[in-house]
Copies of this chain bind each other. A is one copy, B any other.
Amino acid sequence: MLQKKWRMTNQRRVILEELRNSKEHLSADELYMRVKKKLPNVSISTIYRNLEELAEQGLIRKLGPQSIQKRFDANIQPHFHIRCVKCGRIDDVPFSMVSEVSQAIRKTTAMVEKITGYDVLGYHLEFLGICPECRKKEEKKERERNGR
């Protein structure tokens, strides 16, 4: 398991600094604007590369969905979802499963409004995991690696 050497470049340092100094959660292009003020020659691809790299190292968190594709659901009854982090597949988590959770969330809403100043319209709860198919694939790969 040899590990890639890690270099703390000027760009990387400034990117991390700017992200840490900001109260908001910046998008790649917002961050690009800020870093540019310190390092006018920085490239947008350096921003993207470093965000990936820093997230992989656990120094920052990537928010939102891993897959950019939107998905659509004809079931408009309240229910939650579970998404496979490997393949992007989304399945249902029946509402009965999570009625306790949704009750807890509802109880918290007023407090969230007071603290954040937002009008809360709803929420989005999604479990993340590895779907049965992808787990099988993983296990197969594992066996092949060990087999020879």
Contacts and interface: CB of A to CB of B under 8 A. Distances in A.
Interface of A: 16, 19-20, 22, 24-29, 31, 51, 55, 58-65, 68-76, 81-82, 84-85, 89-91, 93-94, 97-98, 100-101, 103-105, 107-109, 111-113, 115-132, 135
Contacts of A128: 120-124
Most chain B beta-carbon neighbours within 10 Å: one of A27, A73, A105, A115: A73
Contacts of A71: 25-27, 63-64
B31 A72 contact: yes
Contacts of A51: 72
Given A64-B65, A81-B63, A26 B72 contact: yes
B72 A24 contact: no
A89 B59 CA distance: 22
Contacts of A117: 131-132
A55 B72 contact: yes
Most chain B beta-carbon neighbours within 10 Å: one of A55, A58, A82, A113: A82
A121 to B, nearest CB: 5
Given A93-B116, A127-B123, A73 B101 contact: no
A68 to B, nearest CB: 5
